[in-house]
């Protein structure tokens, strides 16, 4: 990756968005923080591991939630 491409990536809104804690992610998804951590451990949620801390991007959680809705919808015949 070139320097200019890297700088563009660093300036993108998704890169600069604040990271959510498990409590924040749980509030966003409507589940308990322990559920969020369990799902992250099982790799069922997109997660970043920073040392011993679990962190989540809101955009990643939104994409994951939308994919869950789309995968469970059945066409009406």
Query: What's the mean pLDDT in 20-35?
Result: 96
Task: Specify the pTM.
Answer: 0.70
**pLDDT of 28 strictly over 70:** yes
Average pLDDT, the chain: 83
Supply 51's token pair. Answer: 């040392």
**pLDDT of 1 strictly over 60:** no
54 - beta bridge partners?
49
Exposed / middle / buried, residue 13 (Cβ in 10 Å: 0-12, 13-18, 19+) = exposed
pLDDT for 4 equals 67
Asked if 57 and 14 touch (Cβ cutoff 8 Å), the reply is: yes
- DSSP type of residue 17: S
CA distance 38 to 29: 14
Q: Where are the domains of the chain?
A: 17-65
**pLDDT of 15 strictly over 80:** no
Query: What's the mean pLDDT in 49-56?
Result: 92
């Amino acid at each position: 990756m070139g320097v200019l491409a890297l700088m563009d990536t660093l300036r993108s809104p998704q890169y600069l968005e604040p990271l959510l804690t498990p409590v924040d992610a749980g509030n966003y998804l409507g589940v308990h923080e322990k559920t969020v951590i369990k799902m992250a451990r099982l790799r069922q949620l997109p997660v970043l591991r920073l040392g011993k801390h679990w962190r989540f991007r809101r955009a990643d959680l939104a994409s994951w939630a939308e994919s869950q809705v789309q995968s469970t919808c059945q066409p009406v015949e």
